Amino acid sequence: MSGQNTSGAPPAAGGGLLDRRALFEGALGAGLLSASGAAAETLGDPVWTQKPGANFTPYGQPSRFESKVKRVWAPPANPATPGIGASRTPHQFLDGAITPNSLHFERAHGGIPDIDPEQHRLVIHGLVKRPLVFTMEALSRYPMKSRIAFIECGGNGGSLSQPVAQNVDAQAIRGLVSCAEWTGVPLSILLDEAGVDPAAKFVFAEGADSAGMSRSIPLAKAMDDALVCLYQNGERIRPGNGYPVRLLAPGFEGNMNVKWLRRLKLVASPVMTKDETSKYTVLLDSGKTWQFIWPIEVNSFITRPSPGIGMPGPGLFEISGLAWSGAGQIKTVEVSADGGKSWAPAALQDPVLPKALTRFRIPWKWDGGPALLQSRSTDAAGNLQPSRAAMIAERGLRGQFHVNCILTWAIGANGEASNVYV
Amino acid sequence: MSGQNTSGAPPAAGGGLLDRRALFEGALGAGLLSASGAAAETLGDPVWTQKPGANFTPYGQPSRFESKVKRVWAPPANPATPGIGASRTPHQFLDGAITPNSLHFERAHGGIPDIDPEQHRLVIHGLVKRPLVFTMEALSRYPMKSRIAFIECGGNGGSLSQPVAQNVDAQAIRGLVSCAEWTGVPLSILLDEAGVDPAAKFVFAEGADSAGMSRSIPLAKAMDDALVCLYQNGERIRPGNGYPVRLLAPGFEGNMNVKWLRRLKLVASPVMTKDETSKYTVLLDSGKTWQFIWPIEVNSFITRPSPGIGMPGPGLFEISGLAWSGAGQIKTVEVSADGGKSWAPAALQDPVLPKALTRFRIPWKWDGGPALLQSRSTDAAGNLQPSRAAMIAERGLRGQFHVNCILTWAIGANGEASNVYV
């Protein structure tokens, strides 16, 4: 890896200086209050200070001034079947690590079902001693655990496999990853109750959507940290994310976290469903295919600046972004302003949780010249996020799944950011 | 404290057995699938498996089957001025530690203002070298931090100071505490930029609502961990929680976390505003008053079972609840089923974060008899949550602020839970 510089003096990067310890004092956008101008004059008497405000609401919504902050999705191939595809999280407008439920990405293969929880059942059957059926009410009596975890669609970043960089934003490229506090029943408890036959090696998980989306989960994962989830960020899971119940397979590719979960069948070998054979596999140039690539690879990207969220002008600015890995905790994130020639370490926001989005931040003193901003992360298992060139050298350009390469934002002299390949 | 039993054999508590290590295997609500009944027969073909589901939405909402999960509030004294009072979080329907933004409690003294972020300004003035004015755009360029923190209204639990127990639920009694991931600029950075005069000892913080809600924050707190927040659970703060900018004073009583923040004035001594003299003080029986009781005391309550969320029947059930302290982390939570005669330790959900809601859980084998469920928490500073009797003995019944006493749910033979005083 060229130009590595992760300690000591900050690198004199193209476009300016990156330094985690830079001081922001007196250098940013605050204006000075004029000597004669009292605070009251500056603040004035806006209308909202003059009359009583609005009433409370049973279920709150954002300010009307935030209407630009929304999920987007491509129209379906067939207009008669909407809700097939994916809606994307607008990371360029967010901060922190939690994704609010209303903006969590959604992936659906047969639209979003409107499930009545009173009628919905979860069945555990196949290679078990006692096949079981659960009402949602019964499930809610079981012991639960909560954990903050990311979920990422295996197809996130797929556009980076295209030969020419598209003029799109962070939401379009990396909007299929989100993070929430998930609460549910450890799957191991339910499987213990059913009594798993020693011949069972996989759990076939099936959704109650019209696509019958289904995957084969290795039994070891099911017994390790999988949760049968009822709650997302405190409240019941949203319809687009699996209401009334979904599987959480922390760190595994999105569609293994089966939504609208209705069936768990213990089986001896993978079922080879359409969702793990024709899709969610990577066809290499060699003609061979990667299949059952379960854990999400180490990844990161910069959310601010990014296309649509440009630099306000030369001077100090805090670069902010997100990192994650299906292998566990993020260990380091480095940021480059010269397209990967030199790197400086970013600060990671505590607590750094395993298999969760991790916010990173680093001050950048932009000199106003052209710059190529990148981030790369390393996880606790030692995996380093690859460059796009290295990824393509390994896989070719066919693979549109598990694309975890470095993303580059070019900063123009006008401060605007754009997606480029370097 | 009588009947303490926090290790070794679980206590044979009134109403049943409490034991963190109890096994749920085969003991809960799952039904057996009949030998003849195939999974397909049991699951049937509900309508949502038969036709494509709905389209994606730009900004998602809960399932229509969750309409009962909502904030509630008392009507205002004057119908001409709605939005004066507080809306409460429905903790009995939630799990985990994060409160979704739509259900975070709201307290307003002059209704919820509809602030245009382009027009809004934040001024820092008073005993400073350089009085400053910030646009929201300028503020968003500063370095930020994120932290998960509770905010609790100083009046939460005030009804427990009434002489007779009311027939109300957890939301009515303890709904004025919520928890979110807050992201903002450390106040210390902004104060350093303004240059604090050594004579300054307090920061007077004022909101842009029609009530001009304001408090005097000790400078030491402002320089320690206060944040000038723009984001709540990832997205911009909701109007009811201070859009476009609020103060977070982690662990301090709710109204010190001034919403709709427009002014920070450095002063030598407290300003003695209406919100820190006539309100948010505790009048003792002695005639003396507690004033400037900033940090929230150690607290906890059981969310499940609770009024409206009764026991499904005798047998194993997971008791679940929330604990918090303005002094830092929660160290232990104990649960009693016999009104405080004996106690058993609950499991705390990792990560246990300082000044954040902490979820606790403990299995309870209910024998079907009458029981008195209680929880009590201890924080890392060693503070133990008091019984209601002990709190009243110290303060009398006048104090309706900072009421952190133990809450008791009586479980009747029908499994229903009700609020009682013991």
User: Residue A338 sits in a domain of what CATH number?
Assistant: 2.60.40.650
Q: Does A234 touch chain B (CB under 8 A)?
A: yes
pLDDT at A8: 39
Same domain flag for B306 and B383: yes
Residue A398 within any structural domain of the chain:
yes
User: Mind giving me the DSSP string for A55-71?
Assistant: PP-SS----GGGTT---
- From B282, B309, B329, give the residue that closes a domain: B282
Ranges of residues in chain B with a pLDDT under 70 are 1-14, 23-28, 34-37
Does residue B299 sit in the same domain as residue B352? Answer: yes
**In A, which residues are within 8 Å of B317 by CB distance?**
141
Burial class (CB in 10 A: 0-12, 13-18, 19+), A41: exposed
Task: State the residue range of the domain holding A383.
Answer: 295-420
Decide if A114 and B64 are in contact by the 8 Å CB cutoff: yes
Q: Give B86's contacts in chain A (Cβ within 8 Å).
A: 56
| Tokens 């970013």, residue located | A346
Q: Per the omega criterion (within 30 degrees of 0), is the bond before B305 cis?
A: yes
pLDDT average, residue stretch A79-86: 90
The reply to whether residue A59 touches residue B70, judged by beta carbons under 8 angstroms, is yes
pLDDT in tens, B290-343: 889 999 999 999 999 999 999 999 988 999 999 999 999 999 999 999 999 999
Q: Does B361 touch chain A (CB under 8 A)?
A: yes
Q: pLDDT per residue over B63-94, tens digit each?
A: 999 999 999 999 888 888 889 999 999 999 99
A141 touches B: beta carbon within 8 Å: yes
Q: Is B30 in Cβ contact with A134 (below 8 Å)?
A: yes
Domain check: are B129 and B277 in the same one?
A: yes
List the single residue in A93, A97, A114 with the smallest CB-CB distance to B181. A97
pLDDT at A36: 57
CATH number at residue B234: 3.90.420.10
Whether residue B278 is found in the same domain as residue B248? yes
Does any domain span residue B318? yes
Is residue B242 a contact partner of residue B229, using CB atoms and an 8 Å limit?
A: yes
8 Å CB contact of B53 and A110: yes
Number of inter-chain CB pairs under 8 A, A vs B: 420
Please tell me the predicted confidence (pLDDT) of residue B10.
44
Domain shared by B303 and B245, yes or no: no
Statement: the pTM of the whole predicted model exceeds 0.80:
yes
* pLDDT at res. A37: 60
Residues B152 and B205 both lie in one domain: yes
pLDDT score at A80: 85
Q: Lowest-confidence range among A92-96, A239-243, B39-43?
A: B39-43
The b/e string for A122-141 (b: 16+ C-beta within 10 A; e otherwise) is bbbbbbbeebbbbbbebbbb
pLDDT, mean over chain A: 92
- Please check whether residue A202 is in contact with residue A292, taking contact to mean a CB–CB distance below 8 angstroms: no
Interface list for B 55-84 with A (CB within 8 A): 55-66, 69-73, 80-84
Express each pLDDT in B177-207 by its tens digit: 999 999 999 999 999 999 999 999 999 999 9
Q: Is residue A157 part of a domain?
A: no
pLDDT at A5: 36
Compute CA distances A162 → A80, A157, A277, A302, A394, whole Å: 28, 10, 22, 20, 15
Instruction: Kindly state whether A120 is in contact with chain B, defined as any CB-CB distance less than 8 angstroms.
Output: yes
B259 in the same domain as B135:
yes
B307 and B248 part of one domain: no
Provide, as residue numbers in chain B, all residues whose Cβ is less than 8 Å from the Cβ of A130: 26, 32
A176 vs A305: CA distance, rounded Å: 19
The residue-averaged pLDDT of A337-342 equals 96
